[in-house]
């Protein structure tokens, strides 16, 4: 089976402390989730009207596209960001993160992962994909503080490359604000603070006794 190589882009909105992803309907995911072989049910033949909760077919993904043009990977990545998410990003702002294989059991095609940063000044359109290709893409904004939760949320359909990109960002790029650290460690900080307060009280009592 022949397949195009592809690019995927992890987009960090630096002004909004968020990451931008895309949400779209994937028929294969829908049929796999809605028509699992259970109690005699099987996937209906091609052409059968969709019967079930269509939300089961929506996936959360990185902005991405196939390499089908005689252009550099950076140029293609920048075009995909503009097409799907509406931001104009200079090619030189595409940072190459990694190259890996997708569809290992079928196509074995190569995907190059990029990282880029955007601001509102770079927004040109609302994105949404290419209508001529029948794309219906929704941009989803996720706060940086929730990225780890998104990775481990089993109710969200996502690819392994999506999870890899987020974990790379959290390890290599993310520097949480002190308030985020505080909220994530409220109990620990509370216990430490209580311990410090107790020591301070005992020390004050000891000094008072010495002076009296």
Q: Does 2 score more than 80 pLDDT? A: no
Largest CA distance in the chain: 92
Write out 140-185 in H/E/C secondary structure. Answer: EEEEHHHHHHHHHCCCCECCHHHHHHHHHHHHHCCCCCHHHHHHHC
- Length of the chain (residues): 212
**212 against 27, higher pLDDT:** 27
Q: Quick one: average pLDDT of 131-150?
A: 88
User: Could you tell me what percentage of the chain is helix, strand and coil, using 3-state DSSP and rounding each to the nearest 5?
Assistant: 40, 25, 35
Q: Quick one: average pLDDT of 180-204?
A: 55
Q: Does 1 score more than 70 pLDDT? A: no
Q: Percentage of the chain surpassing pLDDT 70?
A: 74
Q: Please list, in sequence order, all residues whose beta carbon lies within 8 angstroms of the beta carbon of residue 14, skipping any fewer than 6 positions away.
A: 117, 118, 119
Q: Quick one: average pLDDT of 85-113?
A: 93
Lowest mean pLDDT: which of 60-64, 118-122, 169-173, 188-192?
A: 188-192
Q: Quick one: average pLDDT of 122-135?
A: 82
What does DSSP say about strands 109-118 and 6-13: parallel, antiparallel, or unpaired?
parallel
Q: Does 161 score more than 90 pLDDT? A: yes
Whose tokens are 């090619």? That residue is: 91
> Tokens representing 192?
């430490």
Q: Report pLDDT for 130.
A: 77
Beta strands in 39-124 (DSSP E): 58-61, 63-66, 95-102, 109-118
Q: Does 178 score more than 70 pLDDT? A: no
**208 against 58, higher pLDDT:** 58
- pTM here is 0.78
Q: Give me the phi and psi of 117, to 5 degrees please.
A: -120, 140
Angle ∠(13,91,129) on CA atoms, nearest 5: 65
Distance separating alpha carbons of residues 212 and 202, to the nearest angstrom: 15
Q: Does 184 score more than 90 pLDDT? A: no
Q: Quick one: average pLDDT of 55-69?
A: 94
Distance separating alpha carbons of residues 116 and 120, to the nearest angstrom: 14
Q: Quick one: average pLDDT of 59-85?
A: 96
Average pLDDT across the chain, whole number:
84
Distance separating alpha carbons of residues 31 and 17, to the nearest angstrom: 35
Q: Report pLDDT for 127.
A: 87
């Amino acid at each position: 089976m022949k397949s195009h190589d592809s690019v995927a882009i992890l987009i960090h909105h630096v002004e909004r402390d968020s990451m931008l992803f895309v949400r779209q309907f994937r028929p294969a995911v829908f049929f796999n989730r809605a028509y699992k072989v259970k109690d005699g049910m099987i996937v209906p033949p091609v052409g059968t009207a969709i019967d079930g909760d269509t939300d089961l077919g929506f996936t959360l993904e990185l902005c991405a596209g196939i390499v089908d043009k005689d252009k550099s990977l950076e140029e293609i990545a920048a075009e995909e960001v503009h097409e799907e998410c509406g931001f104009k990003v200079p090619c030189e702002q595409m940072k190459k993160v990694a190259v890996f294989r997708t569809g290992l059991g079928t196509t074995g095609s190569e995907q190059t992962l990029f990282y880029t940063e955007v601001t509102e000044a770079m927004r040109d359109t609302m994105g949404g994909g290419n209508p001529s290709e029948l794309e219906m893409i929704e941009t989803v904004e996720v706060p940086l503080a929730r990225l780890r939760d998104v990775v481990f949320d089993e109710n969200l359909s996502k690819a392994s490359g999506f999870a890899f990109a987020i974990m790379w960002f959290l390890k290599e790029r993310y520097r949480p604000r002190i308030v985020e650290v505080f909220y994530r460690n409220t109990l620990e900080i509370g216990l430490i603070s209580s311990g410090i307060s107790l020591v301070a009280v005992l020390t004050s009592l000891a000094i008072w006794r010495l002076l009296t």
